[in-house]
Structure 1
Amino acid sequence: MNFTEIKGSLNPFVKFEDALVFKISKILKACERSENLIVCIYLIEKDSFLYCNHNLKNILSEDLDKLWEKGWDFWLSRIDAKEVLITRERIRNLFKNIHDGRSLTLRYQMENFAYRKMHIEHEIFIHRTNKHTLAFNYLLDVSDKERIKKCCELSENLLGCRVSKKQPNRISIREQEVLRLIANGFSSKEIANMLFISNHTAISHRKNLIEKFQVRNTAHLIKNAAAFI
């Protein structure tokens, strides 16, 4: 793969320095060789996506130009409404506090570009050059994994197996959001800021979850609530 072929995977609507592209050309070649990994690179200073590999181009198809032109707004528009707020805030917080080597792992549901639901595991890794800050986005479609998990749960129900007494019958959508953030290590104050709720409300959600799962502390909550995260 030569330099010209790599340029075909770059955002045509934004002028990037050839020196930057040449500097990371080996990285881009490795991304293009990936059989399964979906990769795109976001240039923070330009507030634009710089590159997406062939796997993402195949998924986006005719919608590729929308990603180039609208950036994160387009990507977030495809995420499930129950998860988009948390996802947006966590990405925003990552970009507010940038340092080389920092990473963020996201899990969410989104509509693919044939309007079918898919489960995504999304890691964002920050890499700084002398002049630029790049956010590498590594995405995996884990929809098959989630389907298998649901089949296992269905099989247990058919066999008469009961869910652990430490798992409540129901938690609210807001409690699910708080639970995911707790599992990702955020404090009650940070959760309050991300969800636009008071610190007191965030603490109350944490206490209610601990009571519902009949556990002693946050560490036990995360361990016993894995199926809900």
Structure 2
Amino acid sequence: MTQIMERKGVFFDVDDTLYDHLSPFRQAVAAVIGEREGFPYDEAYHRMRYYSDKLSLEMGGAGVMENDSSTELMRRKRFELALAEFGVKLTEKQAADMQAAYIGCQFNITMFDGAKELIKRLVKAGIVVGLLTNGAENHQLRKIRAMELDHLIPPERQFISGKVGWDKPDTRVFRHVNEATGTRPENCVYIGDSWRNDVIGALDAGWSVIWFNHRSANPETDTHTPTHTAASYEELAGLLF
């Protein structure tokens, strides 16, 4: 039992950590309002993610965020609120069209350079490798399948908040992962791009955190300090091996 409890674990976020989540956002915005020179797509994307998390929690969390009318309302509203901060006022139809365009290209996924290779190295090294992502179960599974990760990360190590019942940064979801994988918090590393969900959530759960800050974002609080920060998979590999 002691040997099992000392297993090392490395767990990855999915959206904008394993693949570029900005690309479908940019395509969706351009499809509705046109490509605008100088438009701060990175900043607008971060605000869309913020409103997505905020509205999802207000509506009951990812556990109830499958395909129903409330989900569609949230998905439209996040575009309206985010773009309004940058002087773009969307109609309901434009927001719906933007969401449809976003979904239409969201599963055409290209993983970041070195991502799959790093996962293979970790698996080969005997480390427990898993995924922990916020979102509705079926929606997130489609992304995982699109990346063809099942042969590297078995379904029992793919933790989706909509199925588990808790959303990051709730520490209960991290404890659930530890219990399900036979790992301890002090032996686990979480890799993710979101300050609120990933850095704060994992640190509060007693895990080490590598903040995957590939967009050069600023820390959102001064109460937490990532164990490490990396901006590429080359840097991640250097920290993990």
Alignment TM class, shorter chain as reference: under 0.3
Choose 1 or 2 for highest CA Rg: 1
Structure with the greater relative contact order (CA < 8 A, sep ≥ 6): 1 or 2?
A: 2
Relative to the length of structure 2, the TM-score reads 0.23
